[in-house]
Structure 1
Amino acid sequence: MPVRVTLIAAARGSSLLAERFDDDRPLDQAGWGEVQRAAHALVPLAVAELRYCSPTPRSRATGDGLGLTPLAQPALRDCDMGRWRGLTLGEAMAREPEAVDAWLADPYSTAHGGESLVEFVQRVGGWLDTRPADDGVRIVAVAEPAVVRAALVHALRAHPSTYWNLDVRPLSTATLVGHAGRWNLRFDSHHERV
C-alpha cells in the first residue's frame, strides 16, 4: 500500500484581507469557531500514525484543536518573504509595486529578499518526498494554506505558476497517495476520511 498524506489547511488567524506574509498570529475567534465546526469531520484523521504541523501558532492550535497533537516541522514553514514579512499584499504593493509585479510574474524571483516560489515548492516537496515509505502509513499535516498549495504543485509536478491557481481555504483537506516522485491527488467523500 502507498503512503497517504492528508494536508489540512490551518484555520484563520485573521480576515482574508488582513492576511500578512509570514503571519505568526494565533487563531482569531473566527478561526476557533471554524475548528469547532470542522472537528467532527476532521477528528477521525487523528488515527494517522504520524501527525505534523507548520511551526506557526495557528497551525499548531488548529492541530491541537482537532485532537491531533502534531509535531512541528520546520520544512513546513511558510515561504520566507524577506522584507515583506508582516505586510499584506496591498502594503507590499504600495511600497514596491515593481518588485511585487516581478515576484508574481516570475517563480524564480526573490524581489522581496527572501525565498523564491520555486525554492519554497522544492523545500515543501522535499519534506513530502522524505516521508516514511512504510506501506500504508497514514500521515496528517496541518499547515498554512500556502504550504498546502506548494505541496500540491510539487506532488502534481505542475508548473510553479500553477501555485497561483490553487485556492486553499481554511480547514480544507487534500490527500496525496503514493511515494517520493509519484503522488496522486485523492478526493475523499466526507464519510470516508480515514
Structure 2
Amino acid sequence: MLRISLVAAARCSSVLDERFDDDRPLDRASVQEVERAAPRLRWLSAFELRYCSPSPRARGTGELLGLTPLAQPGLRDCEMGRWRGARLDQVMASEPQAVAAWLDNPVVTPHSGESLLAFIARVGEWLDTRPEDGSRIVAVADPGVVRAAAVYALNAPPPTYWRIDAQPLSLTTVTRRPEGWALEFPA
C-alpha cells in the first residue's frame, strides 16, 4: 500500500488578498503560522521522499518545516491563464459570466489556462506515478492541489472540488490500495 501525506501550504497573504496562481513568497505572518505548526508536523521530516509544489509558498512552507522538499511540476497549482495574479472579486466584477461558466463546467477555460478536469487529472497522474517501494512520501502543496488530490482519490465528480476546504497547514493522506485510491484520516 502506498501512502502519501499532503500538507497544505501556508497562506502567502491575508485571506482577503488571495490571488489566482499566486507567486508571492510567505509573508511575516505566514512564517509565524508555519513556525507555530512546525512542532505538530516535524515528524514528517523523517519521510524518505519529500516533495512540494513549485510555488514560493509551498517551497517556503516545506523549508520552514525542515523537509528540504524537491519541487515537482506535477504538483503546481491550476494554471489560471490571464486571471493569474488577479483576485476572484476583481475577476467576478469584470467577467461575471466567465467566472460562472468556470465554476459550473469543469472543462471550460475562460481564463485560457487549465481546465478543472485537466488539473485534477494532472495531479492524479502525479499520484499514480509515485513508487510503491515502501518509502514514506510527504508533499507540501498549494491547497488547490490538495483538493484536486482528494477528488482524484475518491474518484468523485470534478464539481466536488469546490466543496473541499484544504486549510493552510492541514494534513491530508491518500492511500493507494489494490482497489484504488482512498482518503485516510489519522487517529
Matched letter for residue 160 of structure 2: T
Is the partner of 2:24 in helix, strand or coil?
A: coil
Matched letter for residue 184 of structure 1: A
Matched letter for residue 140 of structure 1: V
Is the partner of 1:153 in helix, strand or coil?
A: helix
For residues 151 and 29 of structure 2, the distance between their equivalents in structure 1, rounded to whole angstroms, comes to 28
1:25 paired with 2:63, answer no
Shift of 1:56: 0.7
Deviations 1:34-62 (A, max 9, x none): 11111001010111110000001110110
Is the partner of 1:21 in helix, strand or coil?
A: coil
1:40 paired with 2:32, answer no
For residues 2 and 28 of structure 2, the distance between their equivalents in structure 1, rounded to whole angstroms, comes to 35
For residues 60 and 158 of structure 1, the distance between their equivalents in structure 2, rounded to whole angstroms, comes to 28
Tell me the residue number matched to 1:153. 151
Tell me the residue number matched to 2:169. 171
Tell me the residue number matched to 2:57. 58
Equivalent residue pairs, number: 187
Shift of 1:181: 7.1
1:11 paired with 2:10, answer yes
Shift of 1:137: 2.1
Query: Sequence identity of aligned pairs in percent?
Result: 61
- The structure 1 segments of at least 4 consecutive aligned residues displaced by more than 4 Å after TM superposition are none
Tell me the residue number matched to 2:183. 185
Matched letter for residue 8 of structure 2: A
Shift of 1:165: 0.3
Shift of 1:120: 0.3
Alpha carbons 1:76, 1:124 under 8 Å: kept:
yes
Tell me the residue number matched to 2:77. 78
Please list every run of 5 or more consecutive structure 2 residues that lacks an aligned counterpart in the other structure.
none
Shift of 1:188: 1.1
Q: TM-score, normalised by structure 2?
A: 0.97
For residues 106 and 71 of structure 1, the distance between their equivalents in structure 2, rounded to whole angstroms, comes to 33
Matched letter for residue 132 of structure 2: A
Matched letter for residue 138 of structure 2: V
For residues 137 and 4 of structure 2, the distance between their equivalents in structure 1, rounded to whole angstroms, comes to 5
Over 3 Å counting, the alpha-carbon distance change for 1:180 and 1:140 in structure 2 is: farther
For residues 178 and 76 of structure 2, the distance between their equivalents in structure 1, rounded to whole angstroms, comes to 20
1:67 paired with 2:66, answer yes
1:106-117 matches, cutoff 5 A: 106-117=105-116
